[in-house]
Amino acid sequence: GDSVTQMEGPVTLSEEAFLTINCTYTATGYPSLFWYVQYPGEGLQLLLKATKADDKGSNKGFEATYRKETTSFHLEKGSVQVSDSAVYFCALRSVQGAQKLVFGQGTRLTINP
């Protein structure tokens, strides 16, 4: 079945550091890919998305590129802030799976001042 694998956390960085959170997936066909963010005590919010190969999703300084050849959708940000501290989830929506999302296990990110 479809699956998503994220890099193990937690990840701790200093403010203004470069961030990469790895995400790889297994799915048939061309799934849509998403990054969701969960701030402390809140539900998940969509951060960015990409629906076809080579698409780049971007929002709030975060970027991720849909790489079909490596089945990856890594999240990057050039200069993180303390306010970026949250849990980040990579997810896919299969073309065969109605509207259901399959989530990775989440990566907790902490940014120190």
Partner 1 sequence: NAGVTQTPKFQVLKTGQSMTLQCAQDMNHNSMYWYRQDPGMGLRLIYYSASEGTTDKGEVPNGYNVSRLNKREFSLRLESAAPSQTSVYFCASSEPGLAGMNEQFFGPGTRLTVL
DSSP 54: T
For the record, the structure tokens of 87 come out as 């849990």
Give the list of residues 6+ apart from residue 21 with CB closer than 8 angstroms, or none: 6, 7, 11, 74, 75, 76, 88, 90, 107, 109
Q: Which is nearer to partner 1, 44 or 111 (CB)?
A: 44
* Number of residues near partner 1 (by CB under 8 A): 24
Q: Which is nearer to partner 1, 46 or 82 (CB)?
A: 46
Instruction: Identify which range of 11-19, 20-28, 47-55, 73-81 contacts partner 1 by CB under 8 A.
Output: 47-55
CA nearest to 35, candidates 50, 25, 20: 50
Centroid of chain to Cα 10: 14
DSSP 106: -
Q: Which positions from 20 to 39 touch partner 1 by CB under 8 A, shown as an x/- string?
A: -----------xx---x---
Residue 70 near partner 1 by CB under 8 A? no
Residue 42 near partner 1 by CB under 8 A? yes
Residues that bind partner 1 (CB under 8 A): 4, 31-32, 36, 41-46, 49, 51-52, 89, 93, 95, 98-101, 103-106
